[in-house]
Amino acid sequence: MRGPATLAARMNRLPLRLALVGCLTGFTIAQELPPLQQQPGSGNPPVPYFVQLPVGHQEGQCVPLAVVIGAVEGEEAARALATVQASELARRGFVAVVPVVASPPATSLGAPVRPWAPLCAELRQRYRIEQGGMHAVVDGDELAANLALDHRTEFQTFVVHGRASAEAAKLLRLPSRRVRTLTGTDAVAVATAVAELHAERQAPGAIGEVARVLDDFHDAAANGDEDRYFAILPDDALFLGTDATERWTGLQFRKEHRRYFQRPSAWTYVALQRHVVIEADGNLALFDEIFDNDSYGECRGSGVMWKRDGRWVLRQYHLTIPVPNDLAPGIARHIRAFQAGGPAPAAATIVFVRHAEKVDQSNDPELSAEGAARAEALARVLRDLPITTVYHTEFRRTAATVAPLCAARGITPDMVPAADVNELVRKLKRAAPGSVVVVCGHSNTVPELIEQLGVKGAPAFGDTEFDRLLVVRRDADGAVLLPLRYGR
């Protein structure tokens, strides 16, 4: 028979067990949470925030962390959101943070805007974040979605709920991210989705041990902890960098990069995906991971870990920047030109136009007399360009818009269905350096095509705007948009 002391000890451990069950299963466990905290935040201007801790949280322990990004500005709105949404997340074992949103809203257009960068750094210093990446709970409103986009390198997952703005749709297209969308705003459903996403990367046994060491490795760099970082990358390890000349032993890497660890953060890599294979003897592990970084974007880390004196350490780490196949030929030409000391390869030029004016609002109308005149004007405006290819959709109005241009040049145009945006983007990305391509589309397809080529903030077409001439120059360094107008 167990005595009263043993029973009391078991009862004292019950809340922690219930919290773990709630995190893994997504069920809400009735329990009394610690009081909601309000923090002044850091930065200039500072970003204050509310934080709800889970039951039994202890300083220094690894814990999943979710940031709730609301669509309403002000302290009272953040407090109300924390009372409902943050509480549900905390009941599943998460530290839940609700920043106070302030105007003017941050946007993703133009240069990157990261007003919450000091806040994210503060959260990494204050909490040991399980899996190394925060989770974002995002209201689908434009304001909240833009804030999430501007800080996307901090988050491994997104749960988007409620309203569905165009900015929220961009979150769904982020590479390698795990994203859940919910039509409603129910706090229980949202918290359950976050817990499920977090559980997807939980791994048992030796695989989980290796994953946690890699998370600790990245966390040490993010917090400028030199000793912890190089305890995992020992002196006799090998680090291969992105440049072909970058091959260091762990000792050489430490000497070369020690200056970065004099800062609050050396660098921050947030793992998005990871694969680990344990060899048969249980003492060797092969891994590869995809992560995001502010400077380099999506990167891949791969290598070998081995168990030395009972703990996992790196034997080799190889950092690379994966190159999409469609971009590889252009980047290869860029590298060859750089190594030869010659000029960079010429950019491909893509000219986008909307179809000209149409006779009526039917599904597949002809051009009006005004539209036919505009098609002739397009042929004159582009007469001096060395056009190699012309694309239009299956509709008569786009074919007629480029017909005078094609007739004057002796070009047979290619038809790509309006709905097959991805296929046309693939074709455009393969355009040879120095080539000139003309694309005639629609008010709802041209901006999407331009954005998928890497231009942020493609201008929209008004209902009566048929005179936009949008020129995109694209090379290995990216894409640049020159907006023009033609005709009357």
For the record, the structure tokens of 77 come out as 């709105």
Contact between residue 103 and residue 125 where contact means Cβ atoms under 8 Å apart = no
Considering the entire predicted model, what is its pTM? Answer: 0.72
Q: Which residues pair with 348 in a beta bridge?
A: 474
Residue 102: its pLDDT value, please? 84
- Tally Cβ neighbours within 10 Å of residue 447: 21
Measured CA to CA, the distance from residue 424 to residue 53 in angstroms comes to 48
Question: H helices of 201-304, where?
Answer: 205-222, 226-232, 250-257
Instruction: Output the CA–CA distances (angstroms, integers) from residue 165 to 105, 139, 221, 277, 451, in the order listed.
Output: 15, 9, 35, 40, 16
The tokens of 483 are what?
Answer: 């907006």
The distance of Cα 234 from the centroid of its chain, to the nearest Å, equals 31
Alpha-carbon torsion (360, 361, 363, 364), positive or negative: positive
For residues 247 and 250, what is the distance between their CA atoms, to the nearest angstrom?
Answer: 10
All residues at 6 or more sequence positions from 133 whose CB lies less than 8 Å from its CB, including other chains: 154, 155, 156, 157, 270, 271, 272
pLDDT score recorded for residue 488: 67
Q: Cβ neighbours of residue 432 under 8 Å, at least 6 residues apart?
A: 348, 388
Looking at domain 4-200, its CATH architecture is 3-Layer(aba) Sandwich (3.40)
* Rg from Cα positions in the chain: 27
Please tell me the predicted confidence (pLDDT) of residue 113.
Answer: 63
pLDDT of residue 31: 63
Topology classification of domain 342-485: Rossmann fold (3.40.50)
pLDDT attached to residue 347: 86
Q: Take residue 101 and report the two structure tokens written for it.
A: 């949103």
Question: Which class is 205-320 in CATH?
Answer: alpha beta
Beta strands in 21-171 (DSSP E): 37-39, 49-52, 62-63, 65-69, 95-99, 128-129, 134-139, 155-161
If you search the block for the tokens 């640049």, which residue do you land on?
480
Cα–Cα distance between 371 and 386 in angstroms, integer? 24
Residue 389 φ/ψ, nearest 5 degrees: -145, 145
Tell me if 354 sits within 8 A of 465, measured CB to CB.
Answer: yes
Q: Which residue has the tokens 């694969």?
A: 275
Q: Which of 77, 80, 98 is nearest to 89 (CA)?
A: 98
Report the pLDDT value the prediction gives residue 78, as an integer from 0 to 100: 95
Q: Report the alpha-carbon distance of residue 252 to residue 210 in Å, rounded.
A: 24
Identical fold for domains 4-200 and 205-320, yes or no, is no
C-alpha to C-alpha distances, 271 to 126, 238, 289, nearest whole angstrom? 19, 21, 7
Domains of the chain, by residue range, sit at 4-200, 205-320, 342-485
**Which DSSP helix (H) or strand (E) runs through 273?**
strand 270-278
Question: Which among 21, 48, 18, 11 has a CA at the least distance from the CA of 33?
Answer: 18
Q: How far apart are CA 270 and CA 385, in angstroms?
A: 45
Buried b (16+ CB within 10 A) or exposed e, 45-63: eebbbbbbbbbbbeeeeeb
Ranges of residues in the chain whose predicted pLDDT is under 50 = 1-29, 105-112
Q: What is the pLDDT of residue 103?
A: 67
What DSSP assignment string belongs to 142-179? HHHHHHHHHTGGGEEEEEEES---HHHHHHHTSTT-EE
